[in-house]
Amino acid sequence: MPKMKTHSSTKKRFRVTASGKFKYAKGGKSHLLSSKNRKRKRELRKAGYVTSTNRDKMKVLLPYG
């Protein structure tokens, strides 16, 4: 059986945690920040997690994660 391919763009954007969740950095915090309020920018600093409904799809994209 050949090795499975890992999706290249997915491996750059997501990390697998010890509990098996998929963690990612939220987008929208690199420019045009003056129009965004403080609370919104503060919330964008926090990590995002893939929902449980999409976890199976992520496992296909990152088979060795």
Q: What is the mean pLDDT of the chain?
A: 96
Query: What are the phi and psi torsion angles at 52 (to 5°)?
Result: -65, -25
pLDDT band for position 34 (50/70/90)?
Answer: very high
Question: What class does CATH assign to 8-61?
Answer: few secondary structures
Residue 22, classified by CB atoms within 10 Å of its CB into exposed (0-12), middle (13-18) or buried (19+), is buried
The Cα–Cα gap between 20 and 55 comes to: 9
pTM of the model: 0.85
Q: Please state the rounded mean pLDDT for residues 38-54.
A: 97
Contacts of 50 (CB under 8 A, 6+ apart): 14, 21, 22, 24, 58
Query: Is residue 58's pLDDT more than 90?
Result: yes
